[in-house]
Amino acid sequence: MTTLRSRLSGNIAELTSIWIDIARAECFEFLEGRMTTVSLDYQRLPRRRAVDVIESALRSLSAERVFKLIYMSVENAAAFTRTAECKGLPHAINCIPRNIEMHTENCKAGKYNDKPFRRPKGFVRSTLSHIFFSDLLGGSGDIGFRECVTDYLRKMEAPSATTPHIDITGAPCEQCGGRVAGQFQGHLSFLVVCELCGSQKRFALVDA
């Protein structure tokens, strides 16, 4: 477990990918449940389009907020079936990804309130979510649901009084043997720069 945590701590792209994979799976489980509730056939959902839209939303919004947008989008589609403009259930179902995309843009523009959207009753965290967010990342509470991955990782890397403080000024450069200068505070990594050749190297912070 410690080895995996150490490897992930220095690889933001991999960590982000795993975070979004877990959140996306939960979003689609919720989407399927909502569509079933309003008698819309989940199997007829344009899957590739829905994946693209939800993954894009998860890069700037928390799963909690995306759940709320999914709820709104399915309700919109259900209401659309009762209008003269709707050409049938497939037409309404095809509108769901577009509705999610529209609501995402409105949410990012601050047009919706930030009232929390709690996990629906009976919709519990997956075992994978517990392992990744609580055991590997050491997060408290349901961070994979409540937090946006981009914002959370930015906070993890930001300097603070409680983060590790590393100072290796004066160490030899691996490239030219010159003097390495600088220090960096952060949970995930630190950067060193050679004063002579300007080469840079980033190191992951490894748990003991």
User: Do 129 and 181 sit in the same domain of this protein?
Assistant: no
pLDDT at 59 (0 to 100): 93
Question: Rounded to 5 degrees, what are φ and ψ at 175?
Answer: -85, -50
User: Do 181 and 149 sit in the same domain of this protein?
Assistant: no
pLDDT at 133 (0 to 100): 81
pLDDT at 179 (0 to 100): 62
Please check whether residue 56 is in contact with residue 150, taking contact to mean a CB–CB distance below 8 angstroms. Answer: no
pLDDT at 3 (0 to 100): 46
pLDDT at 154 (0 to 100): 75
User: What is the pLDDT confidence band of residue 201, given thresholds at 50, 70 and 90?
Assistant: low
Please check whether residue 166 is in contact with residue 142, taking contact to mean a CB–CB distance below 8 angstroms. Answer: no
In angstroms, the CA 39 to CA 89 distance is 9
Q: Which two tokens stand for residue 177?
A: 């043997």
pLDDT in tens, 36-80: 999 999 999 999 999 999 999 999 999 999 999 999 999 999 999
Residue 35 has pLDDT above 90, yes or no: yes
User: Do 21 and 91 sit in the same domain of this protein?
Assistant: yes
Length of the chain: 208
Q: pTM for the complete prediction?
A: 0.70
Which residue is listed with tokens 């939960």?
26
User: Do 89 and 118 sit in the same domain of this protein?
Assistant: yes
**In the chain, pLDDT over 90 holds for what percent of residues?**
42
Domain that holds residue 199: 165-204
pLDDT in tens, 139-187: 777 888 888 888 887 776 655 444 444 444 555 666 676 665 554 444 4
H helices present in the chain, as ranges: 2-9, 12-37, 47-58, 63-80, 89-108, 127-129, 143-146, 149-157
Q: Which two tokens stand for residue 111?
A: 């047009």
Q: How many separate domains does the chain show?
A: 2
pLDDT in tens, 104-137: 999 998 888 777 788 888 787 887 887 788 777 7
User: Do 28 and 64 sit in the same domain of this protein?
Assistant: yes
Higher pLDDT, 138 or 86: 86
User: Do 28 and 117 sit in the same domain of this protein?
Assistant: yes
User: Do 79 and 173 sit in the same domain of this protein?
Assistant: no
User: Do 85 and 184 sit in the same domain of this protein?
Assistant: no
User: Do 187 and 143 sit in the same domain of this protein?
Assistant: no
Q: Which two tokens stand for residue 24?
A: 């996306």
**Residues 192, 196, 197, CA angle at the centre, nearest 5°?**
75
User: Do 92 and 39 sit in the same domain of this protein?
Assistant: yes
User: Do 65 and 129 sit in the same domain of this protein?
Assistant: yes
User: Do 136 and 194 sit in the same domain of this protein?
Assistant: no
Residue 1 has pLDDT above 50, yes or no: no
